[in-house]
Amino acid sequence: MHKRFWWFVILPAVFVASLSFAQFSILDMVADKVIQRYQMSTCEQLWMKKDQPKLAEEQRVIGLLRRDPAMRTEFLNRVAAPIANKMFECGMIP
């Protein structure tokens, strides 16, 4: 009976860990996509995209980042420097 107790503890822990891993692998893909978009875009393209409405996929990711502070922090830590550098080069920030 003692062995059964451990299964009730271990299985949920593994499940939660796998969900966290899956979310952060999605985070990796999204962060890489955002960084690549900024690095490959010209300043003119960035200025034009600035005022366009967000796509449904982008809105879903933004909603996810708003709900999960840890994921949002990790995402911003990854993309902040490349985005800020490109925006500075393009005159979008002082």
Query: Among candidates 39, 36, 37, 31, which has minimal Cα distance to 73?
Result: 31
Examine residue 52 and state whether it is found in any structural domain, yes or no.
yes
> pLDDT 10s digit of each residue in the chain, 94 long?
455 544 455 545 554 444 454 556 788 888 899 899 889 999 999 888 878 887 888 888 889 889 999 889 999 999 999 999 999 999 988 8
Work out the widest C-alpha separation in the chain, in whole angstroms.
67
Per the listing, tokens 């449904």 go with 56
> 65 is in which domain, residue-wise?
23-89
Number of domains the chain contains: 1
Report the sign of the C-alpha dihedral through residues 22, 25, 29, 31, in that order.
positive
Residue 5 lies in a domain: no
Is there a domain that residue 11 lies in?
A: no
